[in-house]
Amino acid sequence: MNRRILICFFAIMGLCISANAQTENSKWGLMLSGGKMEYNGDIGSNMIFGTPFQGHVGARVARYLNPSFDLVLAGSRGRNGIDLSTEPGNTNADQFLADVFQVNLGAHYKILKGKKFTPFLSGALGYLSSSPKNGIGGFADRGDEESNLHIPLGLGVKYQVSDKFGLFYHSQYGLNFGDNADGAFVGSGFPEATDGNDNYLLHELGLGFFFGKKDRDKDGVADEKDACPDTPGLKEYMGCPDTDGDTVIDKEDDCPEVAGLVEFRGCPDTDGDGVIDKSDACPDVAGEERYMGCPDTDGDGIADNKDKCPEESGVSKYDGCPIPDTDGDGFNDDDDECPTVAGTLRGCPDSDGDGFQDRNDDCKDVAGTVKGCPDRDNDGIADKDDKCPDEAGVPEMDGCPKVRKPSRSEIINRYCAPSIQFKSGTRGDEAYDGIVRGIAEWSKNYPEAFFNVSGYSDSQGAPSANKALSKKRAKKVYESLIRAGVPAEKITYEGYGATNPIADNATKEGREMNRRVQVCASTTKRIIETTNTKR
């Protein structure tokens, strides 16, 4: 029998999943049930679910006391009995059947407090009345009318289907204070009878109806008192939740999932600097509000978390570091016009010391005043660009004066005598001697001049013949100039044939003009290249 009781106990415990049916808002519950009462006494035991099946109907009223306890008034009516006559060695005397009514007042201890399932333990004190059904259905004529106190102890589970409706299962073992109901008691002639053991096991399955105030979020706080009726919360906060447990309800908590301080609307300030962590760029180090909670160790106005030199005052341009002097010339980079090259003139080199940085000095190795270059005549045009470096001039004359005499070299290089014409062969015309004398007179004034004598012909005849003829004409003039007093070393001559005509060879007049010799002066002697020819 004890084994069966344990099996029943653990089977029912397996049904205890977790939850709560009645709440502070639904304090009253009415429950109707149907079930079976099983006999356990001197005759034997039909636990669990033995024969015969003895049905019971019951009802109970429950009152919510607190989250752990409900007060319950319960009762049931049905039959109780046992039939062991079919077992080998038993007789019809091993039968018992009685009508039973019982009522009790007790408490349910709710093991878990959930939202759907509530397993519970029960204990009560009650009244039990038994009336035997002798001779009915072939059962033996045994048992007495009896009414006694009894103590039902049990366990069960409630399932909340909705706010107003639920299911429950309950098994209770009744300890009866009487022993006459089954007719087997000490002195009755039943050899194994003992005192006070007409006990029972009652199984009940039923429906529950709950009455109370509306609680939409099922948090145990009635909607009329719930400041957050649609969100499960806590009674101490008028039904509002405090997820992080910092005593600031979620709807007023700026950091509802992280415990914080009331003065910061529920947000934490780990470093205690007055800047809440979610707005603090340095939440673990105390700082200043103007730097989003970060410190500024060197006091340069740049927070340490953005300062690459947090212990040395600097500027924002260099991420909190001092202005560098990359080239080490004593000028910091912001004031140094040449930050990567050491120098003395605003940080740049000035090799000739003329006040012009080398990068802007056109003559960086020679001191000067015009873009760093010398200007001897002080006309604002550097000597290297001045065609008259010792005589002040103007830019449009390349540094020379607007009006001036030509230099000797200019006169020499510009001089060309009138063309010496030839009638034919090497016979000059009537102006021949006068032109030669004029050249000789001019050379006396410019003894440093060199003369280039160039002979030409018309286009008639073979080119080789024309070239030879033109050279003879040039040589004749060369010899005439020597006789007129021009030093031979100052004269070079060459013949160029019919090249470089100055008139149309198709006319007689043009051909006459092309038979000529041209004498021009130069400050340098012409170099005439010669080639070897076959003889």
Which pLDDT value is given to residue 19? Answer: 33
Nearest residue to 168 via CA among 262, 78, 70, 101: 70
Residue (of 206, 202, 140, 213) closest to 176 by Cα position: 202
**177 vs 487, which has greater pLDDT?**
487
In the prediction, which pLDDT does 354 show? 87
Choose one of 195, 211, 227: the last residue of a domain: 211
Q: What pLDDT, on a 0 to 100 scale, did the predictor assign at position 4?
A: 43
Residue count of the chain: 535
CATH of the domain at 455: 3.30.1330.60
Domain presence at residue 46: yes
Asked if the structure places residue 34 within a domain, the reply is yes
Query: Is the predicted pLDDT of residue 241 greater than 80, yes or no?
Result: yes
Q: How far does CA 267 lie from the centroid of its chain?
A: 24
pLDDT digits (tens, 9 = 90+) for 372-397: 999 998 989 999 899 899 888 899 88
Residue 246 belongs to some domain of the structure? no
Residue 378, judged by CB atoms within 10 A of its CB (0-12, 13-18, 19+), counts as: exposed
Task: Write down the pLDDT at residue 230.
Answer: 84
> Of 164, 189, 211, which residue is a domain's last?
211
The reported pLDDT for the residue numbered 17 is: 30
Contacts for 183 with CB less than 8 Å, ≥ 6 apart:
96, 132, 142, 143, 144, 190
Cβ 95 vs Cβ 46: under 8 Å = no
pLDDT in tens, 399-445: 888 876 788 999 999 999 999 999 888 898 999 999 999 999 999 99
The CATH number covering residue 124 comes to: 2.40.160.20
Top pLDDT among 248 and 226 is at 248
pLDDT category, 138, cuts 50, 70, 90?
low
Domain with 467, as residue range(s), is 411-522
pLDDT tens-place string over residues 316-361: 888 999 999 899 989 998 999 999 999 999 999 989 898 999 899 9
Quote the percentage of the chain above a pLDDT of 70.
Answer: 85
Beta bridge partners of 101: 77, 129
**At 31, which helix (H) or strand (E)?**
strand 28-40
Residue 236 has a pLDDT of 86
Alpha-carbon distances of 455 from 418, 451, 516, rounded to whole Å: 13, 13, 6
And the tokens for 58?
A: 């019951």
517, 455 contact by CB (below 8 A): yes
Q: Is residue 141 part of a domain?
A: yes
- The pair phi, psi for residue 335, each rounded to 5°, is -105, -5
C-alpha distance across the termini of the chain, in Å: 158
Domain boundary among 183, 211, 239: 211
What's the average model confidence in pLDDT over 161-186? 81
- pLDDT at residue 145, rounded to an integer: 86
Lowest mean pLDDT segment, chosen from 119-128, 150-159, 227-236, 281-290:
227-236
The b-or-e profile of 20-53 (16+ CB within 10 A means b, else e) is bbbbbbbbebebebebbbbbbbbbbbbbeebebe
Q: Is the pLDDT of residue 268 over 90?
A: yes
The amino acid occupying position 450 is F
Q: Could you report the per-residue pLDDT of 456-508, keeping only the tens digit for each?
A: 999 999 999 999 999 999 999 999 999 999 999 999 999 999 999 999 999 99
How many domains, in total, are found in the chain?
2
Say if 155 falls within a structural domain.
Answer: yes
Chain segment 18-66, per-residue pLDDT in tens: 333 566 667 888 989 999 888 887 777 776 666 666 788 999 999 988 8
Closest CA to 149 of 132, 124, 123: 124
Residue 244 belongs to a domain: no
Q: Does residue 1 carry a pLDDT above 60?
A: no
> For position 210, what pLDDT does the model report?
72
The reported pLDDT for the residue numbered 114 is 58
Provide the phi-psi class of 245: left if phi over 0, else alpha when psi is between -120 and 50, else beta.
left
Q: For residue 222, what pLDDT is reported?
A: 77
Query: Is 156 within the bounds of a domain?
Result: yes
Q: Provide the pLDDT for residue 376.
A: 92
DSSP state at residue 529 = P
> Tokens standing for 255?
């950091």
Cβ-in-10-Å burial (0-12, 13-18, 19+) of 257 comes to exposed
Which residues in 161-260 belong to E strands, given as ranges? Answer: 165-176, 199-211
The answer to whether residue 192 sits within a structural domain is yes
pLDDT at 187: 61
What band does 6 get if pLDDT is binned at 50, 70 and 90? very low
Q: What is the mean pLDDT of the chain?
A: 85
